[in-house]
Amino acid sequence: MGSSLRKKREKKRDFNKAKLKVGREKAKAANFTDTSFKSKSIVVNQGVLTSEGIDSAEQFKQNLSLCISARSDNQRREAVAYITNQISSTPPNNPVGTSGVLAKLLPLLSDASTSVRAQLLKLFRALPPSEVGAHVEKILMYIRGGMTHLSPDIRTDTLNVLDWLLDVAGDEVVSCSGGWLKTINGFSSMLGWNPNVGSAMTSKGWTTASKATLGTKKGPEAQARQIQALARFLEVGFKPEDPVPVKAAAYWDNIYRLPNTPNPFAYLNLFGIPRDEENEMYLDRGSRQRVFDVKWRATIAAGMEGARKEGGTVGRAAAALGRALNGGLDSSDSESGN
């Protein structure tokens, strides 16, 4: 009797509808573990994080990659500083070579962070000067891009890089493909000295040229810095060549010995695309003077006179530019007169 009642209750329990207890949490199990916490770091009691086990070449490549891929300004700056220390050490540690470093870091010329650009300039100054000349054409491409950047700070920092390049490889800068006319075109765009537009007043009294430095608090200082950089560039381009001592064996050395410079026949442009006037290589002082006299002398002289009338730092910079023009072009005028 008792067993039959128990079976009926169990069978009835299977068909009963469960009552929901609203507002009450389900009872936790006895072995419940709370995993809702969030940890910012993982602590290992008997573990030590160190970079001693990583190969120095691999660590160099990791930091070189971080210079571009890191989103944090501080992380990019620290990565560039690490590369600088490795190159400046004795002996220097550079497993990728100067070409590999430049290929990765040249885009940082237009980095938004001022500290990253300042550290990048320190890295460039740590590079061996003898290894920079072969990469001048590529460096100038990024410099010309920075010279016409919208940010005035980036334009100014790019001129600092150009000063460094003129110090370590000035002859290569003004004689490489596009190094002469294209760079002057960059200065023209930056200063607003356009030969097609002109900087003088029109017949109706309206000015037609614009300056990239206007509209900022640092306008006069930035314009003076740009004129000084142009004067320095022209001084290097118009510098007289050092006389080459006569060597009796030089004729046979040029025929039978291997060249001492990379790509010694670049001026022939054997395998490149046809060059126009701007991309041409102006290898000597005379050719640079002639093309400058035809295309840019009148425009830069007019812009220089306008800057000189402004006075102050801009006027002093224009006076320095005038001395560079007079010193570089007087000899060509005297030679043509003779």
Tens-digit pLDDT string for the chain (338 aa): 567 888 888 887 777 777 766 767 777 888 888 877 776 666 655 555 555 657 888 999 999 999 999 999 999 999 999 999 999 998 999 999 999 999 999 999 999 999 999 999 999 999 999 999 999 999 999 999 999 999 999 999 999 999 999 999 999 999 998 899 999 999 999 999 987 654 444 444 444 444 554 444 567 889 999 999 999 999 999 998 777 676 777 777 777 788 776 677 776 777 767 777 788 888 889 999 999 999 999 999 999 999 999 888 999 999 999 999 988 877 555 555 54
| pLDDT recorded at residue 131 | 92
Position 202 scores a pLDDT of 44
Instruction: Give residue 311's pLDDT.
Output: 86
pLDDT at 254: 74
Whole-model pTM over 0.95: no
What pLDDT does 198 receive? Answer: 46
Distance of alpha carbon 148 from alpha carbon 332, whole angstroms: 31
Looking at residue 332, its pLDDT comes to: 55
**Residues with Cβ < 8 Å from 262, sequence gap 6 or more?**
134
Q: Are 84 and 126 in contact (CB under 8 A)?
A: yes
- Which structure tokens are listed for 257? 């010995």
Domain spans, the chain: 55-131, 133-200+209-241+275-338
Q: Are 238 and 330 in contact (CB under 8 A)?
A: no
What's the sign of the alpha-carbon dihedral 209, 210, 211, 217?
Answer: positive
Residue 45 token pair: 């009691």
Q: What is the pLDDT of residue 127?
A: 95
pLDDT value of residue 210:
45
- One-letter amino acid at 250 equals A
Cα 248 to Cα 232: distance, rounded to the nearest angstrom? 36
Tell me the CA distances in angstroms from 225 to 231, 236, 302, 305, one per residue in order. Answer: 10, 17, 18, 16
Q: Where are the alpha helices (DSSP H) in the chain?
A: 2-14, 56-69, 73-88, 97-105, 114-126, 136-147, 152-175, 181-191, 219-237, 250-256, 285-295, 297-310, 312-337
Residue 199 has a pLDDT of: 42
Q: Count Cα atoms within 13 angstroms, Cβ side, for 288.
A: 31
